[in-house]
Amino acid sequence: MQAPTLLDVYRARKTIAPHIPRTPLHYSAGLSEMLDAEIYLKHEEYLPLGAFKGRGGINLLANLTDEEKDRGLITASTGNHGQSLASAGKLFGVRVLVGLPENANPNKVAAMKALGAELIFHGNGFDDARSHCERLAKEEGYRFVHPVNDPLLIAGVGTQALETIEDLPDVQVLMVPLGGGSGVSGACIVAKGIDPSIEVLAVQSELAPAGYLSWRKGEIVEAETTTFAEGVATGSGYELAQDIIRDLLDDFLLVSDEDIRRAIGTLIEKAHTLAEGAGATALAGAIKYPEKVRGKKVAITVSGANITVDQLRQSLEVYQS
């Protein structure tokens, strides 16, 4: 696999522009005062699917051959990537099957059903579902779409960082949550291609540390996932994203699930913003490691807002305790 380039991200922006609205980058006075920094939030939760992944799905489907479209697509997801492909499949008239863990977020399941995806529940986690879908692709002839190891997906989601830097050219730090790594690797390609002095920081739950361990050890590592934040709950590092961030990422931060829950509450109180667990993970990193942002101009990605009522209730209980 060839890593996408900055030019590929510019091409992706042209491809998705008729379908994906530009999301706002808003200054947060409350978070800025709290963190002693100039904090801006990149509001990917404003997108129609409530998450950044829609960018990648459009770019992928628009670039497939007719033969690939006719075969139908199969992928695995904890929800947001599946919504992205389901939505793009509906737009382009392509059959989409999505493999999900048995305990998938019910809100995301309902959204994928409404978008016309055929759902396959298998296993206790994302990687169980992914392995099952890879087998089905070989047996049935579907075009398998890896949720991370695909240059078109990475170039598509990289457009969020491109928008951020265009709107805030003197940004010093980009903080991005990491699950599989498409968003972070896309941000690295964009930031380092435009201004190498921009720091890119990845943040991941310590209860799903495979991405961090793979980055630290320089090889693909698998690890148990027990985090409630399904958007960052991947049990393995992935080759293409890891190849990119190994060379370009400035630092990698781990946070606890309690940190993430507190960040959900903080976003509501300080920035009037609703986020799911993965969507609040980058802010959790800034709160836990304030020295990484103090005195700097920082853009923090809110990657999605597809949170359940129970997850929100539990998070507010932690925040208020």
Answer for the pair 158, 9: CB distance below 8 angstroms, yes or no. Answer: yes
How many other CB atoms sit within 10 Å of the CB of residue 288? 17
Query: Token pair 């991005």 is at which residue?
Result: 176
Choosing from 42, 53, 108, 192, the catalytic residue is 53
Choosing from 77, 236, 303, 315, the catalytic residue is 303
What's the N-to-C CA distance of the chain in angstroms?
47
Long-range residue pairs from 19-22, CB within 8 A, at least 24 positions apart, any chain:
19/58, 19/91, 20/47, 20/54, 20/55, 20/58, 20/159, 21/46, 21/47, 21/48, 22/163
Answer for the pair 173, 296: CB distance below 8 angstroms, yes or no. Answer: yes
Answer for the pair 199, 165: CB distance below 8 angstroms, yes or no. Answer: no
Among this protein's residues, is 53 annotated catalytic?
yes
Given the DSSP bridges, would you call strands 38-43 and 25-27 parallel, antiparallel or unpaired?
A: antiparallel
Catalytic machinery residues: 53, 303
